[in-house]
Amino acid sequence: MSYPAKKSVEEIEDKSKDYRILFSILSGHNQRVLVVVIIGHLLIEHLLDKIITIKYKNTKTTLRGSFSEKLKILYPDWLPLFIYENIKLLNKARNDIAHNLGISDHEPIIYMPKNEKKILNIPKRKNKEKFYFRYLINTILFDLVNYSYYSLNISADTDLNHIFRSNRK
């Protein structure tokens, strides 16, 4: 991740807090895995749109593309591999839900910087899938918002009017 010079990772202000709180509110404590994955996917797609709009000025047709097409625009030129891999995990789960009305069993892994993989130790009393996807989505939000803020100077503010606006005319 690209951080300002002379500051360690511990000194960097977390710019993703508002997005992670919004995700927590929208996905609710008692929601099903389906809702958690769909809400997280939509928030991340909103962030990808925001990044593409700022990084590439002429984006009218680009923003109409699929989620996968947007990822291809950003990776490998801008998006770090570990964030890309985590987003792909979420997109696969979202596609499983959309086409199979359920989620196949996922290994609870999170990709980390420096080609490391973290395997989550999920508490026994927790819903394995829900716990994993909440963790994965919060990790992606944290990394994506902070990376875009520090590398592209993109505002970390959540513009709720923009997020919830309808594209219908």
Q: Is 9 within the bounds of a domain?
A: no
How far apart are the C-alpha atoms of 34 and 129, rounded to whole Å? Answer: 10
Other CB atoms closer than 10 Å to residue 96's CB: what's the count? 15
Q: Is 132 within the bounds of a domain?
A: yes
Q: Is 31 within the bounds of a domain?
A: yes
How far apart are the C-alpha atoms of 142 and 144, rounded to whole Å? Answer: 6
Q: Is 13 within the bounds of a domain?
A: no
Summarize the confidence of residues 90-111 as an average pLDDT: 85
Is the pLDDT assigned to residue 120 strictly greater than 50?
yes
Is the pLDDT assigned to residue 162 strictly greater than 50?
yes
How far apart are the C-alpha atoms of 100 and 80, rounded to whole Å? Answer: 30
So what's the pLDDT on residue 169? 43
Confidence of residue 12 (pLDDT cuts 50, 70, 90): low
Q: Is 18 within the bounds of a domain?
A: no
DSSP reduced 3-state for 110: strand
Summarize the confidence of residues 144-163 as an average pLDDT: 75
How far apart are the C-alpha atoms of 139 and 19, rounded to whole Å? Answer: 11
Q: Is 107 within the bounds of a domain?
A: yes
Range of the domain at 155: 23-162
Q: Of 30-34, 47-51, 74-78, 86-90, which gets the smallest average pLDDT?
A: 30-34
Q: Is 139 within the bounds of a domain?
A: yes
Number of domains in the chain: 1
